[in-house]
């Protein structure tokens, strides 16, 4: 037989369960409507993103691969774990890796930050070339890369460091701005 004490305990548990359900449910339909995703305010995000950049003629110019891409509130797009390649038709033998990249809607530049590494097997002076810096801006349509930060450059067996650089990736020309130093093997 069930005692009155057990019945009271069961009633208390039932009331507690109903109260927690009532408190956890949405307040109204308006609250549900407000909770829905508003793409115009929140932007978009992608995982395993592949962004294709085209030139003025509409042909493929470059490909940007990223682990994650997200539109920010100011309409810039932020990327993480980035790899940028020029298309074979552009005849620019460079690829660039970085921790992050940012593209602003009103600019043609790609801003790369964190462990930036640009490499080419046909780089400056026709040698394997590697450029390392913490910040690099690339103008994909004009094939230029610039930075005002410290840069390390390896051209074949030669090694250079400088502060600031302008590189023309298509013509394989390099201009170092200041504090240039280096090692040259015979």
Q: Are 81 and 70 in contact (CB under 8 A)?
A: no
Question: Above 90 in pLDDT, residue 25?
Answer: no
Question: Above 80 in pLDDT, residue 136?
Answer: yes
Q: Where are the domains of the chain?
A: 48-183
- Between 122 and 80, the higher pLDDT residue: 80
Question: Above 50 in pLDDT, residue 65?
Answer: yes
Question: Above 60 in pLDDT, residue 130?
Answer: yes
Identify the three-state secondary structure at position 122.
Answer: coil
* Across 31-45, 53-67, 79-93, 94-108, least confident range: 31-45
Model confidence at 118, pLDDT cuts 50, 70, 90, reads very high
Calculate mean pLDDT across residues 30-36: 47
- Between 151 and 30, the higher pLDDT residue: 151
What percentage of the chain carries pLDDT values higher than 90?
35
Between CA 17 and CA 162 the distance in angstroms is 69
Beta-bridged to residue 79, according to DSSP, are 69, 101
- Tens-place pLDDT, residues 35-47: 444 444 567 888 9
- Between 131 and 19, the higher pLDDT residue: 131
What's the 3-state SS for 47-105? EEEEEEEECCCCCEEEEEEEEEEEECCCCCEEEEEEEEEECHHHCCCCEEEEEEEEECC
CATH assignment, 48-183: 2.60.450.10
Confidence (pLDDT) at 31: 47
Model pTM score: 0.72
Question: Above 80 in pLDDT, residue 77?
Answer: yes
């Amino acid at each position: 037989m069930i005692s009155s004490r057990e019945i009271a305990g069961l009633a208390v548990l039932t009331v507690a369960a109903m109260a927690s359900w009532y408190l956890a449910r949405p307040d109204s339909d308006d609250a549900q409507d407000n909770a829905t995703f508003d793409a115009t305010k929140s932007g978009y995000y992608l995982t395993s993103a592949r962004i294709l950049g085209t030139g003025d003629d509409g042909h493929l110019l470059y490909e940007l691969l990223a682990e994650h891409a997200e539109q920010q509130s100011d309409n810039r797009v932020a990327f993480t774990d980035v790899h940028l390649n020029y298309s074979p038709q552009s005849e620019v033998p460079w690829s660039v890796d970085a921790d992050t990249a940012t593209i602003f809607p009103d600019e043609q530049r790609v801003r790369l930050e964190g462990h930036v590494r640009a490499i080419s097997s046909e780089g400056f002076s026709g040698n394997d070339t590697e450029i390392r810096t913490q910040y690099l801006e690339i103008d994909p349509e004009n094939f230029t890369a610039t930075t005002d930060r410290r840069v390390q450059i390896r051209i074949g067996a030669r090694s250079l460091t400088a502060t600031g650089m302008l590189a023309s990736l298509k013509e394989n020309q390099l201009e170092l701005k200041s504090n240039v130093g280096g090692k040259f093997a015979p």
